Amino acid sequence: MPGPSPKNPDMRQRRNKTSSAMAFVDKNPLKKTPELPKRRRKWRVETIDWWEDVWKSPMAMAGEFITVDVHGLFLLADLVDRYWRYPSPALATEIRLQRQCFGLTPIDRRRLEWTVERAEHANAKGAKRRDQGRKFKPHQIDPRELLNQVN
């Protein structure tokens, strides 16, 4: 007896699909790093460094941040600045909660299903994909020839 018949695909519980997946087109991509807003008090050096690091990150370079995200990053920059002036657990907690939205830590990027590939690794993967299209490399033995050599 062969066993039970396969389940109808429409009846399967898990299809690994997101129910609300959408793709939007950004018609106004950010061309350069936004400047921190002007204010009475100067920005701390640590905050300026953090801001530059955020905009040099692969997420910013890949266009993950769009114009509307800049406002949230301004608020986060203000929290970071306040933390460097007057460190407190409450500010650290709020910074941790706010930076999750922008994928600024490895665990946040994992939750958002973003991956950051190193240039060498990405180039190697591309070369491997291109090689998969070729049937045999010149230095390889055709496996069919080995089958013919059996005595």
Q: Does residue 49 belong to any structural domain of this protein?
A: yes
Q: What is the pLDDT of residues 76-107, one digit of tens each?
A: 999 999 999 999 999 999 999 999 988 888 88
Q: What is the pLDDT of residues 34-90, one digit of tens each?
A: 999 999 999 999 999 999 999 998 888 888 888 889 999 999 999 999 999 999 999
Q: Are 54 and 60 in contact (CB under 8 A)?
A: yes
CA dihedral 119, 123, 129, 133 (to 10 degrees): 160
Total domains, the chain: 1
Q: Which amino acid is at 92?
A: A
Q: Does residue 123 belong to any structural domain of this protein?
A: no
Q: Does residue 131 belong to any structural domain of this protein?
A: no
Q: Does residue 58 belong to any structural domain of this protein?
A: yes
What domain range is 95 assigned to?
42-118
What's the angle, vertex CA 27, arms to CA 25 and CA 72, rounded to 5?
Answer: 85
